[in-house]
């Protein structure tokens, strides 16, 4: 497994201890990405679209993907709530050529894995579980990160056949 390069971000407004905890979570997230699996992207994102950590195949616009992923999650939550259901913890979208899997980490952040259809669904789900486990492990070592365990609600979106 090749691990993506990791770098320190610019300045921030968080306290040092909180910043260190977030940096540890980001490093843990990035070390869990196998770049040889054929994925297009893996992101750890706040619900606002702010990227906490990410890996993307070259040529993909991070700013667009992160904000649209946050918008997708918020839109699905709103749709499901409007029909009387609980907000989902996982969203799966299949297009003709790609698959997107998004999972809430807690009330403020989520993970997104994007892959071409040629990558098996099992690989995408296993990658998601591994990334989630790494974030949970990083959170257990910190008093500033909290990964919520909730009953899983899922939404799957597929193209017509």
Condensed to tens digits (0 to 9), the pLDDT of residues 53-75 reads 999 999 999 999 999 999 999 99
Question: Which residue ranges make up each domain of the chain?
Answer: 16-149
| Dist. CA 93–CA 109, nearest whole Å | 19
- Residue ranges of alpha helices (H) inside 3-152 are 16-31, 62-82, 121-140
> Band of the pLDDT at 142, cuts 50, 70, 90?
low
From residue 28, how far is each of 19, 72, 118, 127, 140 by CA, in Å? 14, 25, 27, 13, 12
| Top-tier CATH class for 16-149 | alpha beta
| Dist. CA 41–CA 56, nearest whole Å | 4
> 80 φ, ψ to 5°?
-65, -40
From the list 51, 20, 48, 55, the residue with the least C-alpha distance to 131 is 55
Query: What is the pLDDT averaged over residues 117-135?
Result: 93
Are 134 and 29 in contact by the 8 Å Cβ rule? The answer is yes
For tokens 């649209």, the residue is 68
């Amino acid at each position: 497994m090749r691990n993506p390069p990791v770098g320190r971000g610019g300045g921030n407004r968080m306290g040092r201890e909180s910043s260190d905890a977030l940096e540890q979570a980001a490093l843990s997230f990035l070390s869990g990405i196998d770049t040889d699996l054929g994925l297009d992207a893996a992101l750890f994102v706040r619900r606002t679209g702010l990227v906490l950590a990410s890996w993307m195949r070259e040529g993909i616009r991070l700013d667009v993907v992160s904000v649209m992923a946050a918008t997708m999650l918020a839109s699905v939550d709103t749709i499901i709530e409007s029909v009387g259901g609980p907000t989902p913890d996982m969203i799966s979208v299949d297009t003709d050529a790609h698959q997107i899997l998004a999972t809430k980490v807690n009330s403020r952040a989520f993970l997104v894995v994007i892959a071409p259809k040629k990558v098996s669904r099992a690989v995408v789900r296993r990658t998601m579980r591994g990334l989630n486990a790494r974030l949970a492990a990083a959170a257990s070592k910190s008093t500033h990160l909290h990964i919520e365990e909730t009953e899983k609600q899922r939404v799957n979106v597929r193209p017509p056949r």
